[in-house]
């Protein structure tokens, strides 16, 4: 009876995918940022697209709370405040574009952008000798903020874009995680009223998302454990590879 209240009309497969996605989201938020697109793909292929994005947004926003609290002391606020204004602009553009283009076209576009950014990062790693030089011009942050805002509004898919940006900032992994955690905490809670207005968040999606809170917390703990054991260079390589693979999936 309780399960029927939270998952009214869900099949056993849908509940299983939802549970697995919740654990992945928790891990993504506290230890493995490049994992973020896998739940997007799983939920989008299990539920109706509009319902899937709304359901995932609530799960993301709930997972952002423990992640933001845990990493509250390692946030680079200067970097964060450079990103937010452009990201809000990207959210507005994404909301408008959603009315004009089909979701498949948008997924393909975002996948191409992410793959291009991954390729640029690899080229920079190989050929750019001054690896300690960090981009400081405002246009660099504005570009990534706008792009990430657009991607997060369209498909909750800003994770790989922020991976490329934060890797370029040469952050130590905890500073990386703290800045990413608070970036998404602020943006995801900002998006909730917009998703409600667009009809992508419903009573059913809220009930289902709330039921996943224990699994989100399990994932968050697992993510913290993983992050502590990962060397910095391995951490950077894994998040970059996962972002590239997720982008390839978005193309098809």
Report pLDDT for 1. Answer: 45
Report pLDDT for 104. Answer: 60
pLDDT tens digit sequence for 2-26: 566 678 788 999 999 999 999 999 9
For 31, the 3-state DSSP assignment is coil
Q: Which residue, chain included where needed, has tokens 């319902």?
A: 51
Check residue 156 and give left, alpha or beta (phi > 0: left; psi -120 to 50: alpha): left
| Segment (H or E) for 231 | none
Report pLDDT for 102. Answer: 62
pLDDT tens digit sequence for 114-129: 677 667 666 656 555 4
Report pLDDT for 218. Answer: 96
Asked whether the CA dihedral 76, 80, 81, 83 is positive or negative, the reply is positive
Q: CA 72, CA 67: separation in Å to the nearest integer?
A: 8
CA angle (209 as vertex; 206, 212 as ends), nearest 5 = 150
Alpha helices, H only, the chain: 2-6, 12-30, 37-44, 49-70, 77-97, 103-127, 138-155, 159-168, 173-198, 203-211, 213-229, 232-251
Query: What per-residue string of b and e applies to 119-131 under the rule 16 or more CB within 10 Å gives b?
Result: eebeeeeeeeeee
Q: CA 50, CA 65: separation in Å to the nearest integer?
A: 24
Which residue, among 123, 97, 99, 127, has the nearest Cα to 110 in the 3D structure?
97
Report pLDDT for 110. Answer: 64
Mean pLDDT of the chain: 83
User: Does pTM top 0.85 for this prediction?
Assistant: no
pLDDT tens digit sequence for 144-203: 899 889 888 887 877 778 878 888 888 888 898 999 999 999 999 999 999 999 888 999
pLDDT band, residue 227 (cuts 50/70/90): confident
CA angle (152 as vertex; 229, 75 as ends), nearest 5 = 45
The alpha carbon of 63 is separated from its chain's Cα centroid by a whole number of angstroms, namely 11
Is 247's pLDDT higher than 90? no
Asked whether the CA dihedral 202, 29, 191, 100 is positive or negative, the reply is negative
């Amino acid at each position: 009876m309780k399960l029927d209240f939270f998952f009214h009309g869900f099949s056993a497969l849908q509940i299983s995918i939802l549970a697995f996605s919740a654990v992945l989201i928790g891990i993504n938020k506290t230890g493995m940022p490049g994992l973020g697109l896998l739940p997007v793909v799983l939920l989008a292929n299990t539920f109706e697209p509009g319902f899937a994005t709304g359901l995932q947004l609530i799960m993301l926003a709930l997972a952002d709370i423990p992640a933001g609290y845990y990493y509250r002391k390692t946030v680079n606020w200067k970097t964060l405040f450079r990103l937010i204004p452009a990201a809000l602009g990207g959210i507005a553009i994404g909301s408008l574009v959603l009315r004009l283009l089909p979701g498949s076209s948008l997924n393909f576009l975002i996948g191409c952008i992410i793959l291009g950014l991954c390729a640029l990062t690899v080229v920079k790693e190989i050929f750019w000798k001054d690896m300690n030089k960090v981009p400081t011009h405002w246009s660099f942050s504005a570009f990534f903020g706008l792009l990430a805002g657009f991607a997060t509004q369209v498909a909750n898919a800003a994770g790989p874009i922020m991976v490329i940006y934060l890797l370029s900032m040469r952050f130590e992994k905890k500073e990386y995680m703290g800045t990413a955690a608070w970036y998404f905490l602020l943006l995801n809670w900002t998006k909730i009223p917009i998703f409600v207005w667009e009809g992508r968040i419903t009573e059913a999606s809220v009930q289902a998302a709330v039921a996943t809170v224990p699994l989100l917390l399990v994932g968050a703990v697992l993510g913290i454990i993983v992050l502590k054991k990962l060397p910095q260079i391995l951490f950077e390589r894994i998040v970059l590879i996962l972002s590239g693979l997720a982008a390839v999936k978005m193309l098809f």
